[in-house]
Every structure is written in structure tokens, then in C-alpha cells.
Structure 1
Amino acid sequence: MKTLTLLGLICLSVPAGAAGDAAAGQQKATQVCAACHGPTGNSENAQYPKLAGQYQDYLEHALKGYQNGDRKNPVMTGMAQPLTEQEIRDLAAFYASQKGLRVAR
């Protein structure tokens, strides 16, 4: 019974630890991302993609792609390289929570 309880607690704690913190993501985005993508991810410059309203898992996948070389962009690679897993989740949570273009899947 103790083993089942312990396993249940571990399973419950994994999703909570994997969640992004939108407030922390906003702080990081303001410091690093806003110059190109705008303060809410709604870039006014067509050269930079709008991040607001994108799906969180897509944003996480994209940032990890810049880190591991699957996506090629020298600027974004340099920006993504120092990010931790939690910072990626936080940034993705922030941009996903912003009002932007959202298309149905």
C-alpha cells in the first residue's frame, strides 16, 4: 500500500513540475524576446514571427529545435542555447496565454 501511495504521489508531481509559469515567462520574454517579437509576442515587424496565441507544445518544440540544431537560425540558436528546460516551458506558457492569431486544429 505504501508503494502505491508513493507511486501515486510521484505521478501527480510530474505534471506539476513540467508546467510552465507564464509570469516567469513574461519576465524572461521582456528581458530577451520583446525586442524582436514584441512585448506580448505580437510582433509589428513581419520579419519576426508572432508568438502570441501559439500552442505551448509547439513553442517548446521550436525552442528545443533551435537548441539541438534541428531548426537553423543563427539568431534564434544563440537566444535558445542558454535556456533551461524550465525557462522554455515558462516562455511557451507566457506566449500561449497571450491573445493572438489562433487557428483551429
Structure 2
Amino acid sequence: MRQSVQISKLNGFRSGFMAFLVAASFGFSASSIAAGPATKPAKPDAAIGEKLYTNGDPQRGVIGCASCHGAEGKSAAGAWPKLAGQHSAYTIKQLKNYKDGTRANAIMAGMSAALTEQDMANIAAYLSKQTVSLGVAQNKETIGLGKQIYAGGIAEKGIPACAACHSPNGAGIPAQYPLLSGQWADYSMAQLGYFRDGTRKNNAAMTAIAAKLSDVEMKAVSDYMAGLR
């Protein structure tokens, strides 16, 4: 009789414990559903973006961008791209690609590591509001070839016109294709080379296009884009 009572108590304990697990599991699941997916960044704040771009945030290990990319995104040399006026979506994508490694660059991987998605959105919003930094084409001998490639492509090599995606004046299309007008020719040339040799892998279309371009063609179109406005 005593054994039956003990078994009954044990079964009751098991039932109660299982009920607790189910309830806990249900409560966890319900809270997870209520929370939904990861919170998206709030509306971008260009003022905060300016502070991050200019001075960074030492307490969080965020390094300012201006030391390389210049005040207001107007870099002083082709080693660093001009960022002023660049479309927000493009800037955010590149920062994410640096952070996740799909765009290889040791310096930018370190710079982007401490950035949150909100930081990226804020910095991109600030840069998009800056006046585009104009440039000029330097090589008169290749202007014709550069214009031909940019405006019409190279049909015999299956290379489409750059203008088809980046627009005739190099302004690009927001959220789809980046601004190219005024960019340093050295920087554009380097990126085309990285697409061609596989160093840069975050745009399959550009990899396919660059694979068909010769050094002469890359240099000509890069120089031509520097003078677009």
C-alpha cells in the first residue's frame, strides 16, 4: 500500500514537472514570437553619423573615417575613395561586406568590425548629404576610348555600357548602383582590377565585366569617369 502511495506521488511529481516544462517552453516560444526578428536600425541620424565619421567613438572602439576619406567624404588622393554624395544603400552594403569578409580589405575589416547596423546607417546618411566631389579626366589620349566604353560598352567583347547601370553622368541609381562621377581614377582602376583577379567578390556582374577588360581599357574608362558630372 505504502509503495503504491509512493509511486502515485512520483507519478504526480513527474506530471507536474512535465507540465512546468511545457508551460515554460510555451512561454519562451510566445515571447520569441512576440519579439519577432532582429530589430532593424532606427531611422538614420545624419548628425550622429557626422560625429562617428569625423571622430569615431573611442569608448566602443569605433575609429573615425575622416583621417583617410577626408572631411565630408572628400578624400585627398586615390588611395582612398571619395565618399561624398554616395548613395546610402551602397555605403551600407560595402560596410557590411567589409565586416562579414565578402569584400576583402584588411584595413576596412578592422574599421567596420565595431560598427553596428545603426552606425552604418547613420554614417551612410551623413555621407549621402554631402556635395559630390568633382574631378577631371587627366589623359586626353584615352578620353575617346573611355567614353566609348562608358557610354556604349564594347560589343565585340560582350561588355555592356557602364552608363546603362551607373547613368550617363555617373550619378548611379540609388539603392541599386553606386555613384561613380568624380571618383579618383586610381581608385576606380584598382577596383576593376580587384574584380578581375577575384580579390573583390561582392558583385558577380562586375566580376564578369572586369574579366573582359584589358588594363588599357580599365585605365581609359576609369580616367573618363573621374571627369563625369
User: Under a length normalisation based on structure 2, what TM-score does the superposition of the two structures give?
Assistant: 0.38
Structure 2 match to 1:25 = 49
The partner residue of 1:41 within 39, 64, 73 is 73
CA shift, 1:85, in A, is 1.0
Question: Structure 1 regions of 5+ residues with no counterpart?
Answer: 1-13
CA distance 1:104–1:79, shift in 2 (3 Å)? closer
**What residue is the counterpart of 1:51 in the other structure?**
83
Q: Identify the structure with bigger relative contact order (alpha carbons < 8 Å, sequence gap 6+).
A: 1
RMSD over aligned Cα, in angstroms? 1.8
| 1:104 CA drift (Å) | 4.2
The structure having more radius of gyration, on CA atoms, is 2
- For residue 81 of structure 1, what is the aligned residue in structure 2? 113
Amino acid at match of 1:79: M
Counterpart-to-counterpart distance in 2, 1:88 and 1:104: 20
Deviation at 1:41, TM superposition (A): 0.2
Deviation, 1:46, is: 1.1
TM-score by length of 1: 0.80
Letter in 1 for 2:109: T
Amino acid of the residue matched to residue 123 of structure 2? L
Q: Distance in 2 between matches of 1:23 and 1:94?
A: 7
Instruction: Tell me how far apart the structure 2 counterparts of residues 58 and 18 of structure 1 sit (CA, whole Å).
Output: 18
Identity %: 40
List gaps (5 residues or longer) in structure 2. 1-38, 56-63, 134-169, 174-229
Instruction: Give yes or no for the alignment of 1:98 onto 2:104.
Output: no
Separation of aligned partners in 2, 1:90 and 1:46: 25
2:101 corresponds to: 69
Q: Distance in 2 between matches of 1:19 and 1:59?
A: 16
Secondary structure of 2:89's partner? Answer: helix
Deviations 1:34-65 (A, max 9, x none): 00000100101111001111000000000000
Moved over 6 A (4+): none
d(CA) in 1 for partners of 2:125, 2:51: 12
